[in-house]
Amino acid sequence: MAWKTIGQPNSIDRISRAVVLDRLSHAYLICGMDGIGKVTFAQDIAKVANCLEMPKSSGPCGSCNQCIRIDSHNHTDVFIYDVKKDLDEVGRTTTMVTIDQLREDFLRQVHRKPYEGRTRIFIISSIESMRSEQSNILLKTLEEPPDDVVIILLARDASNLLSTIVSRCQVLNLDPVGELEILEYLGECELGPEVPIQEIAKLSRGRPEWAYRAAINPEILHILEDKLNQFVGCLIGSLEQRFKLSKDLSTQFFRDRDGVYEFLDIAMTWTRDVLLSSSERAGDIVNISHKERIHEFSKMLSTTDILNILKLIRMTLGNLRKNVTPSLVLDNFMLKLPVATSLT
Ligand SMILES: [Zn+2]
């Protein structure tokens, strides 16, 4: 068997059982964090639905003509749309779905018979970004799915989606993958010796595709590093510096809110590392290449300060998600952030 999905034993088991019983659903909704492997899992489903070894086996063989063509994105019955981005998680080119495409391309394709395989597969990514007109087009198809078609919707989580869409799909929730499993996966990826796979596995926090992207593209770790330095700079910086960053972040928020969430996320991970370091659990820290600096800060901040920072980050994230004015939220964050002072 050749599942490319890393981890996810429960979801794999559900699909395997459905295939063996010839009961694949016409619609699945795969939920999970960005970088956890939703596209890969959807493609694994595309393979089990078309693999020539099925249903003798409970997973795709990975080596028949069908599996190979799906893996290389050359299968004429497998379509990948992304509602939001024009590049998906692992850099494959996918098309951005406009209303016209959904109406014309998707609706035209979905009613055709399979051309080279048994089942036509439509993978639609980032469906939380769908507008109502797009949702309606999709809903009509989900209400009366054609035979020989499996529609696979991908989203971060089901809570923001129309209940009429969710109720017509079988929901598969992808769980964070264990650090050791990610490390083992990276070990098999034939990466250069210079790639810090241990640190990447820790930083990935359960997201194997994120880990792979970070391993093949050093720029990802550089961006994290920059954000980390900005946050650490704030802890020791003047109010002026803090407000400058707050202004930059609130400007960024309008075009790239994920980037701002990522900044706060990194701040959270790093502060937790300081807490672990101060409680003699330095072995558990995530940012292992910053061990010394983290130790230094564990001496400069009291435990109360560290706990307050964590609380403040959570509150800031919550308020940004609730659409409170970003400049207010971020100014408040900078004002309340404790100052780390050197003991010397
Ligand atoms: Zn196969």
- Tens of pLDDT, residues 108-159: 888 888 889 999 999 998 888 887 888 888 888 898 888 899 999 999 989 8
Asked whether the predicted pLDDT for residue 282 surpasses 50, the reply is yes
101-139 burial, b for 16+ CB within 10 Å, e for fewer? ebeeebeeebeeebeebebbbbbbbbbbebeeebbebbe
Domain ranges of the chain: 9-173, 217-336
How many A from CA of 20 to the centre of ligand 1?
A: 14
CA of 68 to the centre of ligand 1 (A): 7
Q: Which CATH architecture has domain 9-173?
A: 3-Layer(aba) Sandwich (3.40)
Residues sharing a CB contact under 8 Å with residue 22, sequence separation 6 or more, in sequence order = 55
Q: What is the predicted pLDDT for the residue at 311? A: 97
Question: How far does the centroid of ligand 1 lie from the alpha carbon of residue 166, in Å?
Answer: 30
| CA 50 to ligand 1 center in whole angstroms | 7
Work out the pLDDT band at 313, boundaries 50, 70, 90: very high
CA of 63 to the centre of ligand 1 (A): 5
Average pLDDT over residues 181-209: 94
Residues lining ion ligand 1 (Cβ < 5 A) are 51, 61, 64, 67
Instruction: Give the Å distance between the CA of 334 and the centre of ligand 1.
Output: 54
Query: Which range has the worst mean pLDDT, 13-22, 87-96, 257-266?
Result: 87-96
pTM score, whole prediction: 0.86
In 3D space, the residue among 141, 56, 38, 39 whose CA is nearest the CA of residue 94 turns out to be 39
- Ligand 1 mean position to 117 CA, how many Å? 11
pLDDT of residue 219 exceeding 60: yes
Is the confidence at residue 257, as pLDDT, over 90? no
Q: Residue 134: what pLDDT?
A: 80
User: Residue 230's pLDDT is what?
Assistant: 95
3-state SS, the chain, equals CCCCCCCCHHHHHHHHHHHHCCCCCCEEEEECCCCCCHHHHHHHHHHHCCCCCCCCCCCCCCCCHHHHHHHCCCCCCEEEEECCCCECCCCCECEECCHHHHHHHHHHHHCCCCCCCCCEEEEEECHHHCCHHHHHHHHHHHHCCCCCEEEEEEECCHHHCCHHHHCCCEEEECCCCCHHHHHHHHHCCCCCCCCCHHHHHHHHCCCHHHHHHHHHCHHHHHHHHHHHHHHHHHHHCCHHHHHHHHHHHHHHHHHCHHHHHHHHHHHHHHHHHHHHHHCCCHHHCCCHHHHHHHHHHHHHCCHHHHHHHHHHHHHHHHHHHCCCCHHHHHHHHHHHCCCCCCCC
What is the whole-number distance in angstroms between the Cα of residue 15 and the centre of ligand 1? 15
pLDDT at 96: 56
- Distance, CA 184 to ligand 1 centroid (Å)? 24
What sign does the dihedral 48-52-54-60 (CA atoms) show?
A: negative
pLDDT at 91: 42
Compute the average pLDDT of residues 91-108: 64
Is the pLDDT assigned to residue 66 strictly greater than 90? yes
Distance 142 CA to ligand 1 centre (A): 27
Residue 58 alpha carbon to ligand 1 centre in Å: 11
pLDDT at 121: 94
Q: What is the mean pLDDT of residues 330-335?
A: 96
62-66, 143-147, 231-235 — which is least confidently predicted? 143-147
**pLDDT tens track for 152-165:** 999 998 988 889 99
Q: Which tens digit of pLDDT belongs to each residue from 33-43?
A: 999 999 999 99
Ligand 1 mean position to 138 CA, how many Å? 29
- Tell me, in angstroms, the distance from the centre of ligand 1 to residue 149's CA: 18
Kindly give the distance from the C-alpha atom of residue 69 to the centroid of ligand 1, in angstroms, as a whole number.
10
Task: Tell me, in angstroms, the distance from the centre of ligand 1 to residue 51's CA.
Answer: 4
**How many whole angstroms from 189 Cα to the centroid of ligand 1?**
22
134 near 97, Cβ under 8 Å?
A: yes
pLDDT of residue 90: 42
Phi, psi angles (nearest 5°) of residue 263: -55, -45
Instruction: Give the percent of the chain with pLDDT over 70.
Output: 94
Q: Mean pLDDT, to the nearest integer, of 293-298?
A: 93
The confidence score (pLDDT) of residue 44 equals 96
For residue 313, how far is its CA from the centre of ligand 1 (angstroms)? 47
Distance CA 105, CA 49 (A): 22
Mean pLDDT, all residues of the chain: 89
Distance CA 35, CA 33 (A): 6
Residue 247 has pLDDT above 90, yes or no: yes
Report how far ligand 1's centroid is from the alpha carbon of 26 (Å): 20
Q: How confident is the model at residue 94 (pLDDT cuts 50, 70, 90)?
A: very low
| pLDDT surpassing 70 at residue 179 | yes
